[in-house]
Chains A and B, each alone.
Chain A
Amino acid sequence: EAGVAQSPRYKIIEKRQSVAFWCNPISGHATLYWYQQILGQGPKLLIQFQNNGVVDDSQLPKDRFSAERLKGVDSTLKIQPAKLEDSAVYLCASSLDRIDEQFFGPGTRLTVL
């Protein structure tokens, strides 16, 4: 069974630029999550989707971050404009349903200069 796919794996941008990350969850998984992991911290939930609807985006900085899962399958996370403090690994995870085990992708490491 293929795992959660993320791209790109690494991205370096300058502050005030925009960036987008892509996630393809495990086939058939209804729930998709985006987490932000800053160096030395644990992952922090940014947004949770159930199919193509948002379950929880309370920790998403909506003035600069946006995320969508239009067809209930893959998802994109965008930052516009980026700040220095956005430097982190962005992890995508998926689960069969909300109470099931979450499987994580390898993450995208973002460096904002």
Chain B
Amino acid sequence: DQQVKQNSPSLSVQEGRISILNCDYTNSMFDYFLWYKKYPAEGPTFLISISSIKDKNEDGRFTVFLNKSAKHLSLHIVPSQPGDSAVYFCAASALGGADGLTFGKGTHLIIQP
């Protein structure tokens, strides 16, 4: 039973355009959500997070939106750059982030020149 779902295995976006990665969750106990970025042969690195008390969090080119009623979050990257090409994992946690993370399967983002 997948509690965090990323339904797009891959996404191709032109350089300079907006990349939108989507994530759905089913567990109502999740109250803290994160996005991680992963390059081949490296561990995931933290990108951005959002608490369930907010509906938006912004950090430079990265913005995460949370729709609690739909149990949906999205990551917007604008403008997209070649270095953004990587696998992006959506993750969720309960207890304000004190629990271990539950990850989605990831979306492979490819930025085309």
Interface-facing stretch out of A14-22, A42-50, A63-71, A73-81: A42-50
Chain A residue numbers with a CB within 8 Å of B89 are 42-43
Q: How many A-B residue pairs have CB under 8 A?
A: 53
**Which residues of B are in contact with A by a Cβ distance under 8 Å?**
4, 6, 36, 41-46, 49, 89, 91, 95-106
Contact between A42 and B100, CB atoms less than 8 A apart: no
In the assembled complex, 23 residue pairs joining A and B whose CB atoms fall closer than 8 Å, in A order, are A33-B101, A41-B105, A42-B105, A43-B44, A43-B101, A43-B103, A44-B103, A45-B101, A45-B102, A56-B99, A56-B100, A91-B44, A93-B43, A99-B96, A99-B98, A100-B97, A101-B49, A102-B46, A104-B36, A105-B43, A106-B41, A106-B43, A107-B43
Q: How far is the CB of B44 from chain A (nearest CB, A)?
A: 5
The winner among B89, B95, B99 for most chain A CB atoms within 10 A is B99
Chain A residue numbers with a CB within 8 Å of B99 are 48, 56, 98
A40→B41 CA distance, assembly (Å): 14
Chain B residue numbers with a CB within 8 Å of A110 are none
Q: Given contact pairs A42-B6, A48-B100, A98-B97, enumerate 20 new A-B contacts (beta carbons under 8 Å).
A: A33-B100, A35-B100, A42-B4, A42-B103, A42-B105, A43-B89, A43-B103, A45-B100, A48-B99, A56-B99, A56-B100, A91-B43, A91-B44, A99-B97, A100-B97, A101-B46, A101-B49, A103-B46, A104-B36, A106-B43
Contact between B102 and A104, CB atoms less than 8 A apart: no
Total interface residues on A, CB under 8 Å, equals: 24
A26 in the interface (beta carbon within 8 A): no
Chain A residue numbers with a CB within 8 Å of B49 are 101
Contact between A104 and B98, CB atoms less than 8 A apart: no
A107→B6 CA distance, assembly (Å): 22
Chain A residue numbers with a CB within 8 Å of B4 are 42
A4→B103 CA distance, assembly (Å): 20
Q: How far is the CB of A87 from chain B (nearest CB, A)?
A: 16
